[in-house]
Amino acid sequence: MTSGNTGIGMTSQRTRMRMVERLRAQGIRDESVLAVMGEVPRHIFVDEALASRAYEDISLPLGFGQTISSPHTVARMTELARGATAFEKVLEIGTGCGYQTVVLSRLARQVYSMERIAALIRKARKHLREAGSTNVHLRHGDGHAGMPELAPFDAIVMTAAAIQVPAALLGQICVGGRMVLPLEKRGEQQLCVIERTEKGYVERRMDQVKFVPLVPGVG
């Protein structure tokens, strides 16, 4: 039988198109996001043993206690982030395997992404090369701090759950921009969209989600 990473069978373009139709049925409306989800080969971002499950609507383990988010979660967070006035410079907190990173890179001019686990940064670099993404800048560091020297960002996407919004990141959103992140309260997580206006910040709570926690420091 042919290997899962060859783009044949369960990892084929047809399989990705079925995933896109499912995302559309689940309420994803941004056609640009749907198009990118159909282009990016999700199976190259997971271990070969899991490639046949890459297009199911589930999160999958990456090692180091981390996961690759489900296709719906990736599409939903990207769709919410793209509601910003512009979508040229994006900051991602939590590179992981690089899948969400690559999806963002197909829609934004420049993506800056931080990951606290050095081994995952190395994996992500390999995946970015395979995906042909050249407009992504990776950094090994604590995501709580963000990248203030490169701020402001049109959008910030955080792929780990926080108990409260990191204060340093709020100041790195441009006026008219937004931040999308999972927030945990009393054991439950919800996607949160924070928009920065001329008068301050407006917060909206959205879907229930399940993410690994945002951890300080580097590893």
Q: What is the DSSP string of 59-81?
A: -EEEETTEEEPPHHHHHHHHHHH
Structure tokens at 113: 């992404």
Beta bridge partners of 36: none
**Backbone dihedral region for residue 164 (phi beyond 0: left; psi -120 to 50: alpha; all else: beta):** beta
Kindly state the helix (H) or strand (E) to which residue 185 belongs, with its residue range: strand 173-185
**CA pair distance 204, 84, nearest whole angstrom:** 14
Residue 105 designated active-site: no
**CA pair distance 162, 181, nearest whole angstrom:** 8
Is the bond into 152 cis (omega within 30 degrees of 0)? yes
Among 3, 52, 69, 133, the one annotated catalytic:
69
DSSP state of 167: H
Which residues does the annotation mark as catalytic? 69
